[in-house]
Amino acid sequence: MRFYLMIWALVILVLGYEYYALSFQPQMSLLYRAQIVGLVSRERRLETASGGWLGQWVGWLGFGFMVVMNAYSIRKRFLSAHSFGRLSQWLNFHVFCGLVGPTFIFFHSNLRVRGIVGISFWSMVISFTSGLVGRYFYIQVAGKKAEIEKAAERWLHSLDRILKKQNLEPEQATKDQVKQKALLFVGAARGNEQQASLTVLVSAIAGDLRSLFGRLVLPQGWPAEARVCLMQYAFSMRQANFLEPFQRLLKHWHAFHFPFAVFMYLAAIVHIISSLIFLRSHG
Question: What is the b/e burial string over 153-192, where b = at least 16 CB atoms within 10 angstroms of the residue's CB?
Answer: eebbebbeebbeeeeeeeeeeebeebbeebbbbbbbeeeb
Q: Which amino acid is at 24?
A: F
Q: Is the pLDDT confidence value at 81 over 90? A: no
What share of residues in the chain are helix, strand, coil (percent, to 5)? 80, 0, 20
Domain shared by 95 and 209, yes or no: no
CA-closest candidate to residue 193, choices 132, 242, 145: 242
CA-closest candidate to residue 130, choices 266, 5, 267, 254: 254
Q: What's the mean pLDDT in 184-202?
A: 77
Global pTM reads 0.69
Instruction: Give 216's DSSP letter.
Output: P
User: What confidence category does residue 282 fall into, taking pLDDT thresholds of 50, 70 and 90?
Assistant: low
Domain shared by 252 and 233, yes or no: no
Cα end-to-end span (Å), the chain: 43
Q: Is the pLDDT confidence value at 169 over 90? A: no
Domain shared by 94 and 196, yes or no: no
User: What confidence category does residue 23 fall into, taking pLDDT thresholds of 50, 70 and 90?
Assistant: confident
User: What confidence category does residue 181 fall into, taking pLDDT thresholds of 50, 70 and 90?
Assistant: very high
CA-closest candidate to residue 108, choices 172, 53, 28, 165: 53
Q: What's the CA gap between 105 and 101, in Å, rounded? A: 6
Phi first, then psi: what are they for 275, rounded to 5°?
-70, -40
Domain that holds residue 89: 1-142+248-281
The mean pLDDT of the chain is 84
Query: How many structural domains are present in the chain?
Result: 2
Domain shared by 118 and 224, yes or no: no
Domain shared by 137 and 12, yes or no: yes
- For 46-68, how does the pLDDT look when each residue is reduced to its tens digit (9 = 90+)? 888 877 888 888 988 988 998 88
pLDDT of residue 31: 87
Task: Please state which of the ranges 43-47, 51-55, 86-90 shows the lowest mean pLDDT.
Answer: 86-90
Domain shared by 54 and 160, yes or no: no
Concatenated DSSP letters of 17-78 = HHHHHHHH-GGG-HHHHHHHTTSS-TTS-----TTSHHHHHHHHHHHHHHHHTTHHHHHHHH
Concatenated DSSP letters of 230-278 = HHHHHHHHHHHHTHHHHHHHHHHHHHHHHHHHHHHHHHHHHHHHHHHHH
Domain shared by 96 and 41, yes or no: yes
Q: Is the pLDDT confidence value at 252 over 80? A: yes
Q: Is the pLDDT confidence value at 82 over 60? A: no
Q: What's the mean pLDDT in 241-251?
A: 89
Range among 31-35, 127-131, 211-215 rated most confident: 211-215
Q: Is the pLDDT confidence value at 191 over 60? A: no
Domain shared by 266 and 128, yes or no: yes
Domain shared by 208 and 73, yes or no: no
Q: What's the mean pLDDT in 202-215?
A: 92
Instruction: Give 2's DSSP letter.
Output: H
CA-closest candidate to residue 67, choices 274, 268, 275: 268
Domain shared by 258 and 196, yes or no: no
pLDDT of residue 232: 94
Q: Is the pLDDT confidence value at 92 over 90? A: no
Domain shared by 138 and 153, yes or no: no
Domain shared by 233 and 151, yes or no: yes
